[in-house]
Amino acid sequence: MTLAKRCAAECLGTLILVYIGAGAAAITLMLAQGTNPATSFSIGIGALGGLADWLAIGMAFAIAIAGGIYALGRVSGAHLNPAVSIALLATRRFPARDTLAYIIAQCIGASAGSLLFALSAGSNAVLVGGLGATAPFPGIGMGQAVLAEAIGTFILMLVIMGVAVDRQAPPGFAGLIIGLTVGGVITTTGNIAGASLNPARTFGPYLIDSVLGGPQLWQFLPIYIIGPVAGAVAAAFIYDWIAAE
Protein backbone atom coordinates (compact mmCIF):
# COMPACT_ATOMS: atom_id res chain seq x y z
CA MET A 1 0.00 0.00 0.00
CA THR A 2 1.20 3.53 -0.74
CA LEU A 3 1.87 5.87 2.15
CA ALA A 4 -1.06 8.02 1.00
CA LYS A 5 -3.47 5.08 1.24
CA ARG A 6 -2.10 4.03 4.60
CA CYS A 7 -2.44 7.57 5.95
CA ALA A 8 -6.00 7.74 4.62
CA ALA A 9 -6.76 4.53 6.51
CA GLU A 10 -5.24 5.93 9.71
CA CYS A 11 -7.24 9.13 9.29
CA LEU A 12 -10.50 7.27 8.73
CA GLY A 13 -9.91 4.80 11.55
CA THR A 14 -9.13 7.54 14.07
CA LEU A 15 -12.18 9.47 12.87
CA ILE A 16 -14.34 6.43 13.71
CA LEU A 17 -12.66 6.04 17.10
CA VAL A 18 -13.30 9.67 18.10
CA TYR A 19 -16.78 9.99 16.60
CA ILE A 20 -18.03 6.90 18.46
CA GLY A 21 -15.86 6.85 21.58
CA ALA A 22 -15.46 10.52 22.45
CA GLY A 23 -18.98 11.03 21.15
CA ALA A 24 -20.26 8.57 23.76
CA ALA A 25 -18.52 10.59 26.48
CA ALA A 26 -20.13 13.79 25.18
CA ILE A 27 -23.57 12.17 25.04
CA THR A 28 -23.15 11.01 28.65
CA LEU A 29 -22.51 14.57 29.76
CA MET A 30 -25.46 15.82 27.71
CA LEU A 31 -27.75 13.26 29.34
CA ALA A 32 -26.44 14.28 32.74
CA GLN A 33 -27.34 17.95 32.24
CA GLY A 34 -29.71 19.06 34.99
CA THR A 35 -29.17 15.97 37.16
CA ASN A 36 -27.37 15.78 40.48
CA PRO A 37 -24.60 13.17 40.40
CA ALA A 38 -23.73 11.57 43.72
CA THR A 39 -20.43 13.45 43.84
CA SER A 40 -18.61 16.06 41.78
CA PHE A 41 -16.06 13.33 41.04
CA SER A 42 -18.52 11.49 38.79
CA ILE A 43 -19.90 12.29 35.37
CA GLY A 44 -22.86 10.07 36.22
CA ILE A 45 -26.40 10.26 34.91
CA GLY A 46 -28.47 9.88 38.04
CA ALA A 47 -28.91 6.32 39.27
CA LEU A 48 -26.99 5.02 36.26
CA GLY A 49 -23.95 7.16 36.93
CA GLY A 50 -20.44 6.45 38.09
CA LEU A 51 -18.85 3.22 36.89
CA ALA A 52 -21.83 2.31 34.71
CA ASP A 53 -21.21 5.43 32.62
CA TRP A 54 -17.55 4.56 32.22
CA LEU A 55 -18.43 1.00 31.24
CA ALA A 56 -20.73 2.34 28.52
CA ILE A 57 -18.10 4.79 27.28
CA GLY A 58 -15.44 2.09 27.43
CA MET A 59 -17.56 -0.30 25.39
CA ALA A 60 -18.19 2.41 22.79
CA PHE A 61 -14.44 2.82 22.40
CA ALA A 62 -13.95 -0.95 22.38
CA ILE A 63 -16.41 -1.42 19.53
CA ALA A 64 -15.00 1.51 17.55
CA ILE A 65 -11.42 0.29 17.89
CA ALA A 66 -12.28 -3.30 17.05
CA GLY A 67 -14.19 -2.14 14.00
CA GLY A 68 -11.35 0.11 12.89
CA ILE A 69 -8.76 -2.64 13.27
CA TYR A 70 -10.78 -5.26 11.39
CA ALA A 71 -11.79 -2.84 8.65
CA LEU A 72 -8.48 -1.07 8.07
CA GLY A 73 -5.76 -3.11 9.72
CA ARG A 74 -4.70 -4.80 6.49
CA VAL A 75 -4.15 -1.38 4.90
CA SER A 76 -2.18 0.55 7.52
CA GLY A 77 -1.81 -1.72 10.52
CA ALA A 78 -4.51 0.36 12.25
CA HIS A 79 -2.28 2.14 14.75
CA LEU A 80 -4.99 4.80 15.25
CA ASN A 81 -2.81 6.30 17.97
CA PRO A 82 0.41 8.37 17.81
CA ALA A 83 1.70 6.64 20.95
CA VAL A 84 1.50 3.27 19.20
CA SER A 85 3.26 4.58 16.11
CA ILE A 86 6.03 6.11 18.24
CA ALA A 87 6.49 2.91 20.26
CA LEU A 88 6.82 0.87 17.06
CA LEU A 89 9.30 3.43 15.76
CA ALA A 90 11.30 3.24 18.99
CA THR A 91 11.59 -0.55 18.69
CA ARG A 92 12.54 -0.29 14.99
CA ARG A 93 9.35 -1.89 13.75
CA PHE A 94 8.12 1.17 11.89
CA PRO A 95 10.09 3.47 9.57
CA ALA A 96 10.91 6.95 10.79
CA ARG A 97 9.92 8.47 7.45
CA ASP A 98 6.32 7.25 7.89
CA THR A 99 5.82 8.03 11.57
CA LEU A 100 5.21 11.76 11.23
CA ALA A 101 2.80 11.18 8.33
CA TYR A 102 0.83 8.67 10.41
CA ILE A 103 0.66 11.05 13.39
CA ILE A 104 -0.59 13.92 11.22
CA ALA A 105 -3.19 11.65 9.64
CA GLN A 106 -4.36 10.43 13.05
CA CYS A 107 -4.73 13.99 14.36
CA ILE A 108 -6.62 15.06 11.22
CA GLY A 109 -8.93 12.07 11.59
CA ALA A 110 -9.55 12.79 15.27
CA SER A 111 -10.38 16.41 14.49
CA ALA A 112 -12.70 15.42 11.66
CA GLY A 113 -14.44 12.93 13.94
CA SER A 114 -15.03 15.63 16.54
CA LEU A 115 -16.29 18.09 13.94
CA LEU A 116 -18.69 15.54 12.45
CA PHE A 117 -20.00 14.69 15.91
CA ALA A 118 -20.58 18.38 16.65
CA LEU A 119 -22.47 18.77 13.38
CA SER A 120 -24.50 15.63 14.13
CA ALA A 121 -25.38 16.30 17.76
CA GLY A 122 -25.70 20.09 17.81
CA SER A 123 -24.33 22.87 19.97
CA ASN A 124 -24.83 21.03 23.27
CA ALA A 125 -22.30 18.47 22.13
CA VAL A 126 -19.75 21.29 22.37
CA LEU A 127 -21.10 23.50 25.12
CA VAL A 128 -22.25 20.72 27.48
CA GLY A 129 -20.44 17.61 26.30
CA GLY A 130 -17.19 19.32 25.37
CA LEU A 131 -17.00 16.81 22.49
CA GLY A 132 -15.79 14.27 25.04
CA ALA A 133 -12.55 16.15 25.68
CA THR A 134 -10.32 14.68 28.36
CA ALA A 135 -9.09 16.48 31.49
CA PRO A 136 -8.10 15.48 35.03
CA PHE A 137 -11.06 15.09 37.37
CA PRO A 138 -11.43 17.07 40.63
CA GLY A 139 -8.72 16.22 43.13
CA ILE A 140 -6.37 14.73 40.53
CA GLY A 141 -2.98 16.39 40.13
CA MET A 142 -0.98 16.60 36.93
CA GLY A 143 1.44 13.92 38.11
CA GLN A 144 -1.37 11.52 38.96
CA ALA A 145 -2.99 12.14 35.59
CA VAL A 146 0.26 11.49 33.70
CA LEU A 147 0.81 8.30 35.70
CA ALA A 148 -2.72 7.04 35.03
CA GLU A 149 -2.35 7.71 31.30
CA ALA A 150 1.06 6.04 31.25
CA ILE A 151 -0.17 2.93 33.07
CA GLY A 152 -3.28 2.63 30.92
CA THR A 153 -1.32 2.99 27.69
CA PHE A 154 1.34 0.59 28.97
CA ILE A 155 -1.33 -2.07 29.41
CA LEU A 156 -2.77 -1.32 25.98
CA MET A 157 0.59 -1.45 24.21
CA LEU A 158 1.60 -4.65 26.00
CA VAL A 159 -1.55 -6.28 24.66
CA ILE A 160 -0.92 -4.88 21.17
CA MET A 161 2.57 -6.36 21.21
CA GLY A 162 1.27 -9.77 22.24
CA VAL A 163 -1.79 -10.09 20.00
CA ALA A 164 -0.90 -8.00 16.96
CA VAL A 165 2.86 -7.38 16.66
CA ASP A 166 4.32 -10.71 17.78
CA ARG A 167 4.65 -13.08 14.83
CA GLN A 168 3.46 -15.94 17.03
CA ALA A 169 0.21 -14.17 17.98
CA PRO A 170 -2.93 -16.20 17.25
CA PRO A 171 -4.57 -14.82 14.10
CA GLY A 172 -7.94 -13.12 14.05
CA PHE A 173 -8.18 -11.92 17.65
CA ALA A 174 -6.27 -8.62 17.59
CA GLY A 175 -9.21 -6.29 17.02
CA LEU A 176 -11.40 -7.93 19.65
CA ILE A 177 -8.76 -8.15 22.38
CA ILE A 178 -7.28 -4.70 21.79
CA GLY A 179 -10.73 -3.14 21.78
CA LEU A 180 -11.76 -4.90 24.99
CA THR A 181 -8.50 -3.89 26.66
CA VAL A 182 -9.19 -0.23 25.87
CA GLY A 183 -12.72 -0.65 27.21
CA GLY A 184 -11.44 -2.17 30.44
CA VAL A 185 -8.82 0.52 31.00
CA ILE A 186 -11.38 3.27 30.38
CA THR A 187 -13.86 1.69 32.79
CA THR A 188 -11.25 1.52 35.54
CA THR A 189 -9.28 4.74 35.05
CA GLY A 190 -11.68 7.04 33.18
CA ASN A 191 -12.61 8.99 36.28
CA ILE A 192 -8.96 9.86 36.94
CA ALA A 193 -8.01 11.75 33.79
CA GLY A 194 -10.48 10.57 31.16
CA ALA A 195 -8.40 7.56 30.01
CA SER A 196 -7.42 9.03 26.67
CA LEU A 197 -4.46 6.66 26.09
CA ASN A 198 -4.06 8.43 22.76
CA PRO A 199 -2.71 11.93 21.99
CA ALA A 200 -4.80 12.22 18.82
CA ARG A 201 -8.01 11.27 20.66
CA THR A 202 -7.41 14.24 22.99
CA PHE A 203 -6.14 16.63 20.32
CA GLY A 204 -9.21 16.35 18.06
CA PRO A 205 -11.84 17.40 20.63
CA TYR A 206 -9.52 20.13 21.96
CA LEU A 207 -9.13 21.64 18.50
CA ILE A 208 -12.80 21.57 17.55
CA ASP A 209 -13.86 22.81 21.00
CA SER A 210 -11.55 25.77 20.45
CA VAL A 211 -13.00 26.48 17.02
CA LEU A 212 -16.65 26.12 18.07
CA GLY A 213 -16.53 27.87 21.46
CA GLY A 214 -16.29 24.87 23.75
CA PRO A 215 -14.04 24.45 26.81
CA GLN A 216 -10.41 25.50 26.42
CA LEU A 217 -8.30 22.69 27.83
CA TRP A 218 -4.99 23.06 26.02
CA GLN A 219 -3.07 23.38 29.31
CA PHE A 220 -3.76 19.69 29.88
CA LEU A 221 -2.47 18.48 26.51
CA PRO A 222 1.02 17.58 27.85
CA ILE A 223 -0.63 14.96 30.10
CA TYR A 224 -2.01 13.17 27.06
CA ILE A 225 1.26 13.29 25.16
CA ILE A 226 3.77 12.45 27.90
CA GLY A 227 1.74 9.74 29.63
CA PRO A 228 0.64 7.71 26.59
CA VAL A 229 3.96 7.97 24.75
CA ALA A 230 5.99 7.00 27.82
CA GLY A 231 3.68 4.11 28.64
CA ALA A 232 3.59 2.76 25.09
CA VAL A 233 7.36 2.95 24.56
CA ALA A 234 8.05 1.30 27.92
CA ALA A 235 5.61 -1.52 27.14
CA ALA A 236 7.14 -2.20 23.73
CA PHE A 237 10.67 -2.50 25.13
CA ILE A 238 9.58 -4.57 28.14
CA TYR A 239 7.59 -6.94 25.92
CA ASP A 240 10.63 -7.43 23.69
CA TRP A 241 12.73 -8.25 26.74
CA ILE A 242 10.19 -10.65 28.23
CA ALA A 243 9.39 -12.42 24.97
CA ALA A 244 12.96 -12.71 23.70
CA GLU A 245 13.98 -16.32 23.20
**Is a pLDDT exceeding 80 seen at residue 150?**
yes
The amino acid sitting at 215 is P
Q: Quick one: which of 206, 204, 202 has its CA closest to 193?
A: 202
Q: Write down the domain spans for the chain.
A: 3-243
Using an 8 Å Cβ cutoff, are 121 and 104 in contact? no
**Is a pLDDT exceeding 50 seen at residue 38?**
no
Residue count of the chain, please give it: 245
How does pLDDT run across 46-99, given as a tens digit for each residue? 334 678 889 999 999 999 999 999 999 999 999 999 999 999 999 999 999 999
How does pLDDT run across 113-126, given as a tens digit for each residue? 999 999 999 999 99
Distance CA 156, CA 245 (A): 23
What per-residue confidence (pLDDT) applies to 1? 87
Using an 8 Å Cβ cutoff, are 109 and 14 in contact? yes
Distance CA 203, CA 225 (A): 9
The amino acid sitting at 45 is I
What percentage of residues in the chain have a pLDDT greater than 70?
93
**Is a pLDDT exceeding 50 seen at residue 45?**
no
What per-residue confidence (pLDDT) applies to 31? 85
Tell me the HSE value of 99 on the side-chain side, using a 13 A CA sphere. Answer: 15
Average pLDDT estimate for 133-157: 96
How does pLDDT run across 10-28, given as a tens digit for each residue? 999 999 999 999 999 999 9
Confidence of residue 35 (pLDDT cuts 50, 70, 90): low
3-state SS of the chain is CCHHHHHHHHHHHHHHHHHHHHHHHHHHHHHHCCCCCCCCCCCCCHHHCCHHHHHHHHHHHHHHHHHHHHHHHHHHCCCCCHHHHHHHHHCCCCCHHHHHHHHHHHHHHHHHHHHHHHHHHCHHHHHCCHHHCCCCCCCCCHHHHHHHHHHHHHHHHHHHHHHHHCCCCCCCCHHHHHHHHHHHHHHHHHHHHCCCCCHHHHHHHHHHHHHHCCCCCHHHHHHHHHHHHHHHHHHHHHHHHHHCC
The amino acid sitting at 163 is V
**Is a pLDDT exceeding 60 seen at residue 155?**
yes
**Is a pLDDT exceeding 90 seen at residue 42?**
no
**Is a pLDDT exceeding 70 seen at residue 156?**
yes
**Is a pLDDT exceeding 70 seen at residue 43?**
no
Confidence of residue 34 (pLDDT cuts 50, 70, 90): low
119 three-class SS: helix
What percentage of residues in the chain have a pLDDT greater than 90?
84
Q: What's the predicted TM-score (pTM) here?
A: 0.92
Mean pLDDT score of the chain: 93
What per-residue confidence (pLDDT) applies to 190? 93
What per-residue confidence (pLDDT) applies to 51? 82
What per-residue confidence (pLDDT) applies to 46? 38
Between CA 130 and CA 230, with CA 154 as vertex, the angle to 5 degrees is 80
Topology of domain 3-243, CATH: Glycerol uptake facilitator protein (1.20.1080)
